[in-house]
Amino acid sequence: MIRSPARQRGAVLFIALIVLVAMSLAGIALIRGVDTANLIAGNLAFKQNATHGGDWAVEHARTWLQAQSAADLYNNAGGRYLAAMQSGVDFTGTDPSRPDFDWNADGFDPGPDPAGNQVRYVIHRMCDLAGNPGSVNCVRTTTGGTADSTKGGATYGGAALPSTSQIYYRITARVTGPRNTVSYVQVMVN
């Protein structure tokens, strides 16, 4: 007696199709995850590049400050330098309770940084008003000047060491890079 072959039911084919669909969905999820990671890494690179542009602007502003005489810093010098601090102004445009700083009208444009980012900065002397710092209230640092020295044979507390006072300046830089990347760098120098 000859036996006829057993009937095939196709169960293996059905399971293979289910596994193939699951693997396709996993592959799509993996591709989307990699794309998202690449976007995040790219955005972080743009932000870091813009921050380096802010450092470049701070050095540019610091070089300008060092080239000025003390008397030149008593009054405003165009859009680059303000002899009085602007309290109550929002440099980043994120505080709705304060007016925004107008970077296009009031910020100095030294040109693009070496990476091609648009850079603007402003320098504020940390004084309440413009004018001679001896007659206006300024934020200062003082070094030396203790009256507790007996150097040179003077009696205790009788001879003060000379002190120096320096005014602080705030440099704020705004850098705009690719993909609307905006970075702010703020530094205090004296």
**pLDDT, tens digit, 9 for 90 and up, residues 142-189:** 766 555 545 555 555 555 556 677 888 889 999 888 878 888 888 988
How many Å is the Cα radius of gyration of the chain?
A: 32
Which range, 16-20, 73-77, 133-137, 151-155, is most confident? 16-20
Residue 34 CA to residue 40 CA, distance in Å, equals: 10
Q: Does the pLDDT at position 78 exceed 90?
A: no
pTM: 0.67
Provide the pLDDT for residue 19: 92
Give dist(CA 52, CA 91) in Å, integer. 18
- The span from the CA of 190 to the CA of 180, in Å, is 32
